[in-house]
Amino acid sequence: MIAPMEEPAQPLPATRRALLRRIAVGQAEGRAPSLVGAVVRDGRLWWAGARGEVAGQAPDGGTQYRIGSLTKTFVAVLVMRLRDEGLLYLGDPLSRHLDVPEAGDATIAQLLAHTSGLAAEARGPWWERTPGELRPETADIFGESPLRHPAGRRHHYSNPGFALLGALVERLRGAPWDEVLRREVLEPLGMARTSPLPRAPHAEGWAVHPWADVLLPEPAVDTGRMAPAGQLWSTAADLARYAAFLMDGDRRVLDPWTLAEMRAPAVAPEGDEWDDGYGLGIQLARRDGRLLIGHTGSMPGFLAALWASPEEGLAGIALANATSGPAVGAVAADLVRIAAEHEPPMPAPWRPLSEADPELVALTGPWYWGPTPFLLHLRPERGLELRPLNGRGRGSRFRAEPDGTWTGLDGYYAGETLRVVRGAGGGPYGADSVHLDLGTFVFTREPYEADGAVPGGVDPKGWRPGA
């Protein structure tokens, strides 16, 4: 559960100055009319600052900016809600739900991860600067060659792909995607200042001349069918709530395990090393030795970035009203770094489980896959964690299922089923007649336990000294 947006503890004076200076440098060097920054810590808006002016006044955490492709993360959340409800599978071809032959055989997962092979942009004219009435139907967003690559072959960022995902949400919910978003995500998270069209107070979008300190206003049109790719407006305060959700989850919107699935790399990196990647609607970045999740965004007149470090419980947000110039992605990442360096995060306090089934407690402790030792640990909500004791081997966390099994959440056993198998005599989980079946691999209480559970049997003479 995300903590309510109450008045949080304030950063130390030296931290506040360092954070504000990073905002000031970003605004000055990027020549942005205004730049707002914010830091989220432990689910709360911890710090916010701004430089520049909006309509003659300093902006604040309640000033709306257009957030561009950050919109895609919201659409991805809606799609994953549909998946969790059983209304679709990520492996479904889009054609199972929408009649869009231009998408070829692309699956929903491929659309979320930008591996559908679809073109990067919609059919001209420049969709970000022209009204959606020019593309009234879904098919109108595609040009003569909608597919640039075979589906699943490589990562190729596609704005039309997320337009299709927005249409998918509308088809399965029977309502416009932005209405579904308001009802299912924005209202539960308390994001009252996030909307498809601007609401005062909001920043005006500007282009800054590259060689002169003069401005040109940018249009802010309703992009219609392309809106799921970059339409939303939001504020630093609202995005702070959203960053907390992306890190910790909120079961009114999405289970934390689903968010963890979205944050996992869905696209193989190109090359031996990578600094940027993509999950399911979520961008990934390696910065300053930490893995960040979130998204960047741009629309004519605006730049936005949200980067979060779930491991540290920190997130940085940067919003500017300039078409180009300020490196808001670097600013947001630096806000995380500054907060972590000046005031390192405290570890979460250890607390005992609120409830524990005695049979599950008896199940914990050492188990052996053949001669290899593992440790099984009981986690909240009847979850389990299996890790090799010597650091060599495959480990995973497991989610409890209603049928008494567990499903792997990460590592080699992600998606695999863990079962507790009792011997003929029955008895509690901790009894000698019990073994674990993990995707057909057998784990016993003793190395190669001679109880008939190990496939292929165990030599009846047992363990012996060397020859």
In a domain, 466, yes or no: no
In a domain, 450, yes or no: no
Domain end (from 314, 342, 370): 342
CB 301 within 8 A of CB 321: yes
Are 205 and 62 found together in one domain? Answer: yes
Residue from 37, 438, 448 nearest 237 by CA? 37
The H-or-E segment that residue 339 falls in is helix 328-342
In a domain, 76, yes or no: yes
Residue from 349, 357, 410, 394 nearest 379 by CA? 357
Helix, strand or coil, per DSSP, at residue 447: coil
Bridge partners for 93 per DSSP? 107
| Residue showing tokens 């607390």 | 351
N- to C-terminal Cα distance for the chain?
A: 60
In a domain, 353, yes or no: no
CA–CA separation, 216 vs 337, rounded Å? 34
How far apart, in Å, are the Cα atoms of 375 and each of 273, 365, 451? 32, 5, 20
Helix, strand or coil, per DSSP, at residue 386: strand
One-character DSSP codes across 185-217: IIHHHT-TT-BSS--SSBPPPEEE-SSSS-EEE
The crossing angle, in degrees rounded to 10, of helices 70-84 and 256-263 is 130
Domains in the chain: how many in total? 2
Domain end (from 342, 374, 391): 342
In a domain, 288, yes or no: yes
Are 366 and 298 found together in one domain? Answer: no
| Structure confidence at residue 272 (pLDDT) | 58
Are 322 and 373 found together in one domain? Answer: no
Burial of 415 (C-beta count, 10 Å sphere; 0-12/13-18/19+): exposed
Are 172 and 200 found together in one domain? Answer: yes
| Structure confidence at residue 6 (pLDDT) | 43
Q: Virtual CA dihedral for 221, 225, 228, 229, nearest 10 degrees?
A: -70
pLDDT means per 10 residues, the chain with 467 residues, are: 50 97 97 98 95 94 97 98 96 93 90 92 88 86 83 89 96 97 98 97 96 95 94 98 96 93 82 78 92 96 97 96 96 98 90 92 94 94 93 88 93 92 61 83 91 86 85
- Residues whose CB falls within 8 Å of the CB of residue 260, separated by 6 or more in sequence, listed in order: 409, 410
Domain end (from 312, 342, 372): 342
Residue ranges making up the domain that contains 177: 13-342
CA–CA separation, 198 vs 355, rounded Å? 47
What is the torsional sign of CA 241, 247, 250, 255? positive
Are 229 and 285 found together in one domain? Answer: yes
Are 297 and 426 found together in one domain? Answer: no
Are 220 and 362 found together in one domain? Answer: no
Are 272 and 389 found together in one domain? Answer: no
In a domain, 458, yes or no: no
pLDDT in tens, 398-419: 999 999 999 998 888 988 999 9
| Structure confidence at residue 2 (pLDDT) | 41
Residue from 68, 56, 412 nearest 218 by CA? 68
Are 272 and 376 found together in one domain? Answer: no
Bridge partners for 107 per DSSP? 93
Are 328 and 365 found together in one domain? Answer: no
| Structure confidence at residue 269 (pLDDT) | 65
The crossing angle, in degrees rounded to 10, of helices 256-263 and 236-248 is 100
| Structure confidence at residue 270 (pLDDT) | 61
Residue from 178, 218, 196 nearest 32 by CA? 218
The crossing angle, in degrees rounded to 10, of helices 13-30 and 328-342 is 170
DSSP letter assigned to residue 30 = H
In a domain, 454, yes or no: no
Q: What is the CA radius of gyration of the chain?
A: 25
CATH of the domain at 275: 3.40.710.10
| Residue showing tokens 């309509």 | 55
In a domain, 53, yes or no: yes
pLDDT in tens, 259-272: 999 998 888 766 55
Are 402 and 335 found together in one domain? Answer: no
CA–CA separation, 34 vs 28, rounded Å? 9
| Structure confidence at residue 424 (pLDDT) | 57
Are 328 and 373 found together in one domain? Answer: no
